[in-house]
Amino acid sequence: MSDGLAHAGWSEALRDGRLLGRTCDDCGTTQGTPKAACPDCGSRALETVELPTEGVVYTETTVNVPPEGIEERGYRVGIVEVGDARILGRLGGGPSIGDEVTLSGYVEDEQGYAVPRFEPA
Ligand SMILES: [Zn+2]
């Protein structure tokens, strides 16, 4: 499966409110992003798993976009730890690092893929 096809399926699941990850059969790493191969060991023996929709903020930062951007001028993104995986998403409601958050929806990115949105639990 190519990264593009994997990403499309991952986006579809997210629009249904589900977070999918992929666990590597060879090294046991779980990825929160749709990759065709394991970034740790290069294995293609990846199994799709369902990830929890609640997690903890691992990093967060504010992205400043021009006023004519899709949303408000600045928005926050962060990496959220859900289960064994880490997922990049939008952060609503101003959570800080270490705060518990829950999946609250998604936004569409420029490529037409869904990006998860998290808010404080
Ligand atoms: Zn691996």
* Per-residue pLDDT tens over the stretch 34-50: 888 999 999 999 999 99
Q: How far is the CA of 72 from the centre of ligand 1 (A)?
A: 38
Q: How far is the CA of 27 from the centre of ligand 1 (A)?
A: 4
- Give the whole-number percent of the chain exceeding pLDDT 90: 73
Rounded distance, CA 28 to CA 92, Å? 31
Q: pTM above the 0.95 mark?
A: no
Q: How far is the CA of 107 from the centre of ligand 1 (A)?
A: 29
**CB-based contacts of 46, cutoff 8 Å, min separation 6:** 22, 23, 24, 25, 31, 35, 36, 37, 38
Domain covering 3-120, topology: OB fold (Dihydrolipoamide Acetyltransferase, E2P) (2.40.50)
